[in-house]
Amino acid sequence: MAVVGSAGLTTDDQTNAAERRAGGEFVRGVSSARSFIGSEEFPAESGRYHLYIAFNCPWCHRVALVRAVLGLEDAISMDVCFPGRTTSADERGENLWRFAPEGATGQNGRHVTFPECTADTVGGKKYIVDIYAESGLEQKSIPILYDKKSRKVVNNESAEIMRMFETVMLPYAKRPVELYPASLQEEVEEANTWLYTDINNGAYKAGFSSNQDVYETAFAAYFAALDRLNGLLEGKEFILGDAVTESDLRAFTTLWRHDPVYHNRMKLNQAFLFEYAQVWKWMGRMMALPGIESVVHEGILAHAKQGYFGRTGNGTIPIGPKGYPQCYGKARP
């Protein structure tokens, strides 16, 4: 089975990217490792492939979410990085993802540990850049889909990794839910496009741009997209009907972060999710998906807070709120 479709790739238009960044706009780069499971070099096999992620990163989180919902844990192993990247005090330099199962010093100066964090159980590396270097690549981003047999990086584009799990790896799933059904592929691609532009990456445009005009444009687009989503969910269980699809999982990892993280950190403070009645109900249905509880809980939210608020420069990590559904209680509409 071929891997098809890729709407909503985690990249921006690269036209005049350097100038736009200099002007304060957040411009996401391009993932460079773009091979696929199902090719001659990387055949579909259970137990052959491995994920490297960090739970604070929503692009990593959505890949882990698909793995959990489909029940692919036995087929695809996974290691988890520390949620805070290195500082200039690190021997290898700053802004690097690394493995620290024993914990590390957080931005608040305290030693912090996360039970979900692991060592590199495949190659014993400490830094993600060294996993790339082994494959002859000069990259440092995650997630990474890695081939344990050939010891090569296969892919580092989260949208494509999700799609591989949903298609060529689906025969190995314990819960083979059709997240990319043939009858809805066109609709999934269309939804993925605006969800990525206005919500997934839109949150970053608002939060990480230093240009007021860029921020205000992203802010308006984000909440217009939330209004659109709220309307789409009227009378439906999920975004495209009564069955969950890839588009729901893509939207979820951003919106799960909205109230406890993005409302403050990304300055997306026009409204909370509970003010969108249909989105709030949809969140409840998403939280009830079998398998999701292993990668969506208060401990994972702690990764997100450490990762995002650790980059604000003021050296503090907020204590609350707890996140959906505890942050506002179950009595909301």
Instruction: Give per-residue pLDDT as tens, 182-226.
Output: 999 999 999 999 999 999 999 999 999 999 999 999 999 999 999
Helices (H), 147-239: 158-166, 185-194, 201-208, 212-232
Does residue 111 lie in a domain region? yes
- Nearest of 77, 122, 83, 128 to residue 101 by alpha carbon: 83
Residues 127 and 194 in one domain: no
- Specify the range with the lowest mean pLDDT, choosing from 41-45, 129-133, 299-303, 315-319: 315-319
Does residue 219 lie in a domain region? yes
Does residue 15 lie in a domain region? no
> What's the mean pLDDT in 262-274?
94
Does residue 18 lie in a domain region? no
Does residue 41 lie in a domain region? yes
Whether the Cβ atoms of residue 319 and residue 306 lie closer than 8 Å to each other = no
pLDDT per residue as tens digits for the range 3-50: 555 545 555 665 665 665 556 665 645 656 889 999 999 999 999 999
Report residue 22: phi and psi, to 5°.
-65, -30
Query: Which band of pLDDT confidence, cut at 50, 70 and 90, is reported for residue 108?
Result: confident
Query: Which band of pLDDT confidence, cut at 50, 70 and 90, is reported for residue 1?
Result: very low
Average of per-residue pLDDT values in the chain: 90
Q: Which residue has the tokens 């269309």?
A: 190
Does residue 287 lie in a domain region? yes
Residues 187 and 298 in one domain: yes
Known active-site residue 60? no
Residues 52 and 168 in one domain: yes
Q: Give the residue from 134, 151, 172 where a domain finishes.
A: 172
CATH of residue 236's domain is 1.20.1050.10
Residues 195 and 288 in one domain: yes
Return the axis-axis angle of helices 277-287 and 246-257, rounded to nearest 10°. 110
| Structure token pair of residue 171 | 């025969």
Whether the Cβ atoms of residue 251 and residue 62 lie closer than 8 Å to each other = no
Active-site hit among 57, 60, 81, 117: 57
| 272: containing domain | 182-309
Does residue 71 lie in a domain region? yes
- Quick one: pLDDT at residue 308? 83
Quick check: 92 pLDDT over 70?
Answer: yes
pLDDT per residue as tens digits for the range 148-186: 999 999 999 999 999 999 999 999 999 999 999 999 999
Does residue 42 lie in a domain region? yes
Residues 165 and 291 in one domain: no
Quick check: 333 pLDDT over 50?
Answer: no
> What's the mean pLDDT in 77-92?
95
Q: Give the residue from 172, 197, 230 where a domain finishes.
A: 172
Residues 141 and 187 in one domain: no
Residues 258 and 193 in one domain: yes
What's 84's DSSP letter? S
- Specify the range with the lowest mean pLDDT, choosing from 131-140, 248-257, 315-324: 315-324
pTM value is: 0.90
The tally of domains found in the chain comes to: 2
Residues 168 and 82 in one domain: yes
Residues 41 and 116 in one domain: yes
Quick check: 315 pLDDT over 80?
Answer: no
Residues 76 and 102 in one domain: yes
Q: Burial of 300 by CB count in 10 Å (0-12 exposed, 13-18 middle, 19+ buried)?
A: buried
> What's the mean pLDDT in 295-317?
83
Residues 119 and 195 in one domain: no
Residues 186 and 275 in one domain: yes
CATH of residue 73's domain is 3.40.30.10
